[in-house]
Amino acid sequence: MKTVGELDDGERPLTVGEIASYRANSKSAAFDSGNLINAISNSVSSADVFKSISDIVDKIGSTETESEIIGKKSGNKITEGL
């Protein structure tokens, strides 16, 4: 099994489903020392990635520090304009 960095042009990484199917249908993979199991257990679904990105985007501008910085910048612009 290749890592993503070892893939040749035109090759793509296997999906978790493809890895699980390979392990289920291959005698040699069924007794794998753990590489396939680790690949499956360490995988992240696209739904998890989307949720993480959405959570981060939702928090933009909501922290106290960011609000204070924006408030100070706005206050300075108002003061400079007077």
The pTM (predicted TM-score) of the whole model is: 0.45
| pLDDT at residue 47 in the model | 84
**Which of 43, 42, 44 shows the shortest CA–CA distance to 52?**
44
69 within 8 A of 42, measured Cβ to Cβ: no
What type of residue sits at position 61? G
| pLDDT at residue 65 in the model | 61
**Which of 15, 33, 36, 10 shows the shortest CA–CA distance to 24?**
36
| pLDDT at residue 72 in the model | 63
37 within 8 A of 13, measured Cβ to Cβ: no
| pLDDT at residue 37 in the model | 74
User: Which helix H or strand E contains 70, and what residues bound it?
Assistant: helix 64-81
**Which of 49, 41, 50, 5 shows the shortest CA–CA distance to 23?**
41
| pLDDT at residue 9 in the model | 92
User: Please, which pLDDT band fits residue 10 given cuts at 50, 70 and 90?
Assistant: very high
- Model pLDDT for residues 11-66, shown as the tens digit of each residue: 998 888 888 888 888 888 777 767 777 777 777 778 888 888 888 877 776 665 66
